[in-house]
A and B are shown apart, each in its own frame.
Chain A
């Protein structure tokens, strides 16, 4: 029997966070070790090779591929302006010459006497990487990027859509159970990261996009609404590149599920501060969960630092949350941890645990179907 691994999402009030900020291609690093950076500072930049366009010169001139060089006015590497003549047929009379014009500004990449095509490359596209969080450059990876370190409140979500963004943390829900009311969303929330309680309807998310909120943090949304919003059925959990104009982060899952009490409380303590959030989720080898990082201001006195790497085993008395039906979303305490395998209703033989819920009811649940609520 495989070891039942219990995924626990991190909810820590104060922790030491190091974020790698790496370019997709090698380039230039703009910051050095020890530099203080703001979340919007560019830390590294590079140029992606420009787009390529293809010009079928031989077809346009009515010549054979072998003859192409004779008719070319430019050679590989030459810069060209949009509309400039790059090749033409020979004729004594100028008006009888057939000409090939450059479709864009750039340079000649190659001329082929096999295919008769000329490849033109547009100017390079600049790409840069921002710091994403307020902090200090801890290390520099030569030509690739930096690692930024900060002391922050750190919360992992279960699923998100949309990329990195940041803004002031604002609450629209008084309790973790409250469903987000679309009517409360208005222009005063533009650019902010809003905490919305147990559920956001399609209407609420659309209002959030309309009023240009930077981010939305809720317990759950419905899959049917997600499909409606994206315009397609999300088949594989690799997200972060959606272009909705907002980042939505779910702390619990799909359906209406109250934000875990501790997550809500931890966020509430940081209300009004700047939160950096990312919806990027990847649930495959090398799991990436969406995250909320709320750095403390420089000079913050650390009270109780929790290291993210700390692993806690499950013990009687621990708080857990059930993550699959029939008790999905309920929070309880571990009452006992029977060691042998047990048969559950589906006849699956699994390792189980006994849970006691707040109302005193107990249940037997596969260990794979719970997660620890970690301190």
Chain B
């Protein structure tokens, strides 16, 4: 079916706990998401068949929409009108992260070079990377073998060496893997898939070492030369193997694969796909974050460069204790204006971990949870920045003018000043009682610089739209902009430091009716200008000489910005955000900012 003939789409995302279905229909000339359904995922006993949950979630959509989609256990295709009643859909697509998603181990000759490239390839395909093995990772050979044996990955990616370079290291890694003879996580009887994407000259030796023991698949080298990273073919192969091997082991997936019109994608892989599509379509830079109960995913698209990272043990329920462990208590408490006994707080956090479905009833509990969220996001973003870097080990030809430029190879791709759109997803951000809370949590954690638009995913449909982007990009982007994103507002944050109360920015906002607001922002101050959703205004920002809003220090910036459910937030806290060192002053400031932005109810 041609993309333009597709009018009705049903999409599901099989998560570890719930299966979410959405219906997308062409209304007039545009695609809109019209109905949604939800049902528990049925991968585990007593059902052990993922399609049961899928059918249940679709059934909910049938009831809500009045469209007959199922004939028993079959999806009716194509969409048609029968006796004035809507029947069937044109396409069915799905993503999956049930059963813990795709878990991989990657190996590369040099940790900071092919090791890192391999990690980026696996993460970009939607995997969780359990460990990165490298010839120079400082572990002794027997420790490496022991580690490989302990892990039970779904798949291994082996890379190493540039084409034409030395083959010793990568063959050595292959020998360790063969010696460890690791077993797959699912299915006791099948051979573990291993993808080789290293030096082409080593292929024969790799075959000799691995072919007998494992299911060896060969892809193009992910690092054909030091200057070049070629991740796409390996990512594609990882997703194919995920379908052909890993998913085959999960209960009911064979049936599900027969039902869908295109390959099932790992959920995070699909989210990455939609981010990329949007960034390309609108020519913008995007950072996206999806904070779940167990893991937090961060995506970034800066120009042609797409990166994804998963922080496997940072999340709001199952992994909440780990947020405390990694962030440490003072970093969590700095966002809160109330006192709490440390032992009591630790017990509260552990109780949330062991009873992950509970909800903060009191305001104090909500404040603690949102402080933990800020830290989980901050730590995940820091991990992302470490991986979203240029290639290391590249010899660069330097001209005399470069001598003074100290930036090394391996510099970060993330430039917060150039960031156009920050999108948040996951319960704690999408379902915060007030949108102001979501906005401030993201500003505090990511600390955007200059002018940045902030949005949340309304009902977590980014995965669905990611697969849809492969079938019909137009439908995917239309639904993303109109129904998926809730624009919260725009943050304007001058970068620099000054004394509290010192003026740092003059700003002029020209409202649609021609009315002009002329005001200034002081250091340590936050200002909220409500600006409705859909309203676009002209702004002129004049920072003082030691502050930068995107044009350089003291340089005027003229731009347009969009409103949202919260509006325009001017953040005068500097970058990095500076909090008063004195406890009482800090609490006072937090209260003041919360009050200005109307974060919490005031008694």
Same assembly:
yes
Q: Give A contacts to B, CB under 8 Å.
A: 2-5, 7, 24-26, 49, 51-54, 65, 109-110, 112, 114-115, 117, 119, 121, 144, 158-159, 222-224, 226-227, 233-237, 253-255, 281, 283-286, 309, 323-326, 328, 344-350, 365-366, 368-369, 371
Q: Which residues of B contact A7 (CB under 8 A)?
A: 355, 357
Q: Which of B138-146, B230-238, B582-590 contacts A (4 or more CB under 8 A)?
A: B138-146
Residue of B nearest to A52 (CB): B179
Q: How far is the CB of B454 from chain A (nearest CB, A)?
A: 20
A-B pairs with CB below 8 Å: how many?
A: 178
The minimal Cβ–Cβ distance linking A127 to chain B, given in whole angstroms, is: 13
Q: Are A366 and B361 in contact (CB under 8 A)?
A: yes
Taking Cβ atoms with an 8 Å cutoff, the residues of B that contact A are 16-18, 38, 41, 43-44, 46, 98-100, 141-142, 145-146, 167-168, 171-172, 175-176, 178-181, 183, 188-189, 205, 209, 294, 313, 318-319, 321-322, 324-326, 342-344, 346-363, 365-366, 433-434, 601
> Are B361 and A144 in contact, with the CB atoms below 8 A?
no
Question: Which residue on chain B has the smallest CB distance to residue A120?
Answer: B179
Question: A144-B188, A368-B357, A369-B359 are known contacts; what are 15 more A-B pairs with Cβ within 8 Å?
Answer: A5-B357, A54-B176, A115-B168, A117-B175, A224-B342, A235-B319, A237-B318, A237-B354, A253-B355, A323-B355, A325-B361, A344-B359, A346-B360, A350-B359, A368-B359
Closest to B368 in A: A325
Q: Is the CB of A237 within 8 A of B355?
A: no
A366 to B355, CA, bound (A): 14
Contact among B146, B168, B324 with A51 in the assembled complex (CB-CB below 8 Å): B146
Known: A222-B343, A223-B349, A328-B351. Contact between A2 and B18, CB under 8 A? yes
What are the residues of chain B within 8 A of A144 when measuring CB–CB?
188
A-B contact pairs, 14 of them (CB 8 A): A109-B179, A110-B209, A114-B172, A223-B349, A224-B342, A236-B319, A237-B353, A253-B351, A285-B16, A285-B98, A286-B44, A324-B359, A346-B359, A365-B361
Given A49-B181, A236-B319, A237-B321, are A346 and B348 neighbors across the interface (CB < 8 Å)?
A: no
- Chain B binding surface, main DSSP class: helix
Are the CB atoms of B189 and A26 closer together than 8 Å? yes
Q: Which of A2, A54, A119, A283 contacts B38 (CB 8 A)?
A: A2
Alpha-carbon gap, A185 to B181, bound state (A): 46
Are the C-beta atoms of A110 and B179 separated by less than 8 Å? yes
Contact B175 A348 (CB under 8 A): no
Given the interface contacts A144-B188, A347-B434, A368-B358, does A54 sit within 8 Å of B141 by beta carbon? Answer: yes
Write the nearest CB–CB distance from A215 to chain B, whole angstroms.
19
**Cβ-defined contact, B361 with A235, below 8 A:** no
Query: Which residues of the partner chain B approach A284 to less than 8 Å between Cβ atoms?
Result: 16, 100, 294, 318
Q: Which residue of A lies closest to B179 (CB)?
A: A52
Contact B343 A224 (CB under 8 A): yes
A337–B344 Cα distance when bound, in Å, is 31
Is B178 in contact with A235, judged by CB distance below 8 angstroms?
Answer: no
Say yes or no: A114 contacts B205, CB within 8 Å: yes
Does the CB pair A52–B142 fall under 8 Å? yes
Interface pair A52/B354, CB less than 8 Å apart: no
Structural contact, B433 and A348, CB atoms closer than 8 A: yes
Interface pair A346/B363, CB less than 8 Å apart = yes
> Which of A236, A285, A371 touches B321 (beta carbons < 8 Å)?
A236
Contact in complex: A345, B172 (CB < 8 Å): no
* Chain A residues near B205 (CB-CB < 8 A): 114
Asked whether A309 lies within 8 Å of B46 as measured between CB atoms, the reply is yes
CB distance from B359 to the nearest CB of A (A): 5
Smallest CB separation, A116 vs chain B (Å): 8
Residues of chain A within 8 A (CB-CB) of B324 are 233
> Please, how many angstroms separate the alpha-carbon atoms of A213 and B489 in the complex?
59
Report the bound CA distance from A53 to B324 in whole Å: 39
Chain A residues contacting B356 (CB-CB under 8 Å) are 283
Q: Which of A54, A109, A226, A371 has the most CB of B within 10 A?
A: A54
The CA-CA distance from A371 to B349 in the complex, in Å, is 18
Question: Shortest Cβ distance from B313 into chain A, in angstroms?
Answer: 5
Contacts of B18 in A (CB 8 A): 2
Q: Which residue of B lies closest to A283 (CB)?
A: B318
User: For B355, what are the chain A residues with a Cβ–Cβ distance below 8 Å?
Assistant: 7, 158, 253, 323-324, 371
A158 with B179: CB separation less than 8 A? no
Report chain B residues within 8 Å CB of A25. 183, 188
Which of B342, B346, B350, B434 gathers the greatest number of chain A CB atoms within 10 Å? B350
Residues from chain B with Cβ under 8 Å of A3 in the complex:
38
